[in-house]
């Protein structure tokens, strides 16, 4: 995502949004660690703005988590269905559960 380590808080904030959008969670974690180092130096107003943006980001991440959970459930159901099927010598599918 980035070659040189960003040092500007605004650049880090933009890269955080980009990492979330691209679902690049390794980069997101690195960026959050970088940002954490800069937080003590920031004015209160900027900290409040970051906090507000983070609340929105958390909602977005919660929605992505729900999507991942739904997809995982669907994949597991498909896996169970596929493992319950077998073919006879003519290629006809037989349900092992029946």
Q: What are the residue ranges spanned by the domains of the chain?
A: 9-95
pLDDT at 71: 86
Residues 6+ apart with CB under 8 A from 93: 85, 86, 87
Does residue 31 carry a pLDDT above 90?
yes
Separation of alpha carbons 45 and 98, rounded Å = 65
Separation of alpha carbons 40 and 33, rounded Å = 13
pLDDT at 67: 87
Element (H, E) at 89: none
Mean pLDDT of the chain: 87
pLDDT at 59: 96
**56-97: per-residue pLDDT in tens?**
999 999 999 998 898 898 888 888 777 777 666 666 766 665
Token pair recorded at residue 85: 């099927």
Q: What mean pLDDT is predicted for residues 22-51?
A: 96
């Amino acid at each position: 995502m980035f070659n040189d380590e960003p040092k500007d808080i605004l650049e880090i904030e933009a890269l955080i949004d980009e990492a979330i959008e691209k679902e690049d969670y390794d980069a997101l974690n690195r960026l959050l660690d970088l940002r954490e180092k800069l937080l003590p130096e920031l004015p209160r107003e900027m900290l409040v703005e970051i906090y507000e943006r983070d609340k929105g980001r958390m909602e977005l991440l919660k929605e992505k988590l729900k999507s991942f959970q739904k997809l995982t459930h669907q994949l597991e159901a498909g896996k169970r269905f596929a493992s319950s099927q077998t073919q006879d010598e003519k290629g006809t599918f037989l349900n092992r559960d029946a």
